[in-house]
Structure 1
Amino acid sequence: MARFIDELQRTHHCGALRLDDVGSEVVLFGWVASRRDHGRCVFIDLRDREGITQVVFDEGIDAPSLALAETMRSEWVIGIRGRVRDRGTMRNPKMATGDVEIEVLETTVFNKSKSPPFAIEDETNTNEERRLTYRYLDLRRPVMQKTFRLRHRLYQAVRRYFDDNDFTEVETPLIVKYTPGGARNFLVPSRLHAGSFYALAESPQLYKQLLMVAGFERYFQIVKCFRDEDLRLDRQPEFTQIDVEMSFINQDMLFKMMEGLVFRMFKA
């Protein structure tokens, strides 16, 4: 295993290889998505966050790698060094990398895995409770990865938009003084001061108003808020919001700024 990572770093993600790469020697790391044993040849679909590539373990190319591949199971984490080749008449148009495959020259196992409790696929009949119990497995599903990466792109678009419009991002405290009234707070007992409590912030409202008084003029934050309320479709105990405050503006100027933000987010 030491040869991989120490000497052989990953050259490509599993979703990146195309016909232009035929003949190239590559190093891939990922999870075993599926395995097909044809006796003297084993086919494995290798998956990482960018996609899937078919890799071929052939007795005539590297017998030790084939012997290791015969023991592999779903969700093992492996590394391979191999050569890209054209799949010819066996191309798979359903895969972005379906025109090529990798003939394995060398392989290693980073981590073995027990059989997962459900298939790591976009479409699953597994109930939500089981998916949450094995959240780390559920998050391996491509559809979940895409959702989080979309969220990341939206966050970056929000930050770029506000930066382009001279806003300052400020992180306000999440553990605050308890203030009765409005939404119910989650209380946090103090270890040092028995009988005293902090509260989790339900909003940065007071802090952002102080920032305006302090002369920041334009503030934004992507912030966690907490409200101890009954669960409803429009109520969650913990949620993320884009928080904004501006000085020296009227209502129309605020609307224009927010419309520009929505437009930028959809472009992302």
Structure 2
Amino acid sequence: MLKKGIILLILSLIFSSCQGLRDFAEFSGVTKIVDDIKESNMHRLARKKDGWNAISNKEYKAEVEEVIKDISKRPINKEVQFEETTFIIPEGTKINQKIGNIVDEKTGYGIYIYFSGEDSWYKMYTPAVAFEKPDKGIYYEIIYNDSTIELAQKIIKINGFKYENWDRDRGEAIKDVLKRPMNKKGQFEGATFIIPENTMINKDGALVDMKTGHRTTIWFSVKNSDPKISKKVNGKEYSIFFDIYDTYKANVGKLAERIIEINNFTVKKEESYYDMSGDKKKDNYIKATIKN
């Protein structure tokens, strides 16, 4: 088993050295196997004494419950660096730098509150991270469960985390973005695109409002077999996508239309979207273009 794991690790390092081999790795299933190994290792670390899921370990459960009660009484005033940003956490705690969870410094027990820069089923993010690293588009989530819900809500508030899918706030943010000049150069996967002022393209390709931290439902991609809206840059074909049904005062289609036009994307056929610029929803279209 150990030999197999070493072989897979070596293969993953080899495949990461060039794009063609990375694609082969994904096709052959090696990437998924390596990801599964990483996930398994993460869950193993999480159940250790200083892990975020120590409470599920019978050996630590009672002690962790007491630690949560104790930490919940403390002021939240300690600034701690984690990866590429700083979070404010309770006095007398630290962040487990391996897996991102809060740990009581006195007892060494981890609690079920952790920060993650990876995709998670529980989506939250903080705009503050975008302000610190706008060139990288880094967003962190905070994950918790029933055992830490009250404490987590305090940490969420003091750090400025927001629910990603607050449609009303996001819609208002996009209305504001629509009013801005198209004068910002955004980098994505080796290409430069013109985007609205005070926005950015994050690492996943999504257009983000840097004033509020809200992600729009407009995103860029470099890996698509049949793009409807595309542009070639330095031999690569880039695509732009948007949610035509995003209607809550958002006017995402109108914003996408501006970005498509100023960046000279080719639209293969008319793309319809819902226009919410008036009082009522109506169909509008991004016209097909033909470019040499």
TM normalised by structure 1 equals 0.24
Give the structure with the larger helix fraction.
Answer: 2
Larger radius of gyration: 1
Structure with more relative contact order (C-alpha pairs < 8 Å, separation 6 or more): 1
TM normalised by structure 2 equals 0.22
